[in-house]
Structure 1
Amino acid sequence: MSLKRLFTEHPDSVGESYFEHMAVALSFAGPLLMAGLAALVHAVLPFLCLTTASRIVKRLHARMTSRHPHPGSHDSRERMLAWDPVI
């Protein structure tokens, strides 16, 4: 498998460019980090953050399961003009 495919195969499969997919993934990373920290606090101090982690995870799950590939997704060649790891 080429280096280019390693970076584009999955974003292509969901109708996103590399950078579009990065932005979406990062929009999940922040809340997941917060949920993890809340769970850590709750593990040590069980009277704090009673529902914080589960609330965040439920919201992210709903967001992820309702996502659909972008209509009219760009073709792979057009997206690679924006970023090509092989260059």
Structure 2
Amino acid sequence: MKLFTQHPASVGESYGEHFGVATRFGLRMIGGGLAALVHGVLPFAFQTTGSRTIAALHAEMVAKRADTAQVNTVEFVI
């Protein structure tokens, strides 16, 4: 049971909460990744979707940790 609860507890979440957050993050990463793949083929489409997705997820993680020193570390555009 410890394998399922140790990490979620280390970030202040229950197993169920962590499952929801991780699933939502994963789906958003898939969406951003798919947009970046389409952008590779059609450069006029989804010009900032990949980088906006990365920046939003990073900001959300940093805010959760209250680690504002890392907020501006995503400095590239896909």
TM range (shorter): 0.7 to 0.9
Counterparts in 2 of 1:63-74, with a 5 A limit? Answer: 63-68=60-65
Cα deviation digits, residues 13-67 of structure 1 (max 9, x gap): 1121110110111121121111000000011111211111111111111011110
**Superposition misfits of 4+ residues, deviation over 3 angstroms:** none
| Aligned-partner Cα distance in 1 for 2:64–2:18 | 12
Match of 1:78 in 2: none
The DSSP-based 3-state class of the residue aligned with 2:43 is coil
Match of 1:31 among 28, 32, 38: 28
Residue equivalent to 1:5 = 2
Gaps of 5+ in 2: 67-78
SS of 1:21's partner is helix
Q: CA RMSD in A?
A: 1.5
Residue ranges of structure 1 left out of the alignment (5+ in a row): 70-87
The residue aligned with 2:51 is 54
Query: How many aligned residue pairs are there?
Result: 66
Match of 1:18 in 2: 15
Sequence identity percentage:
53
* TM-score, scaled to structure 2: 0.76
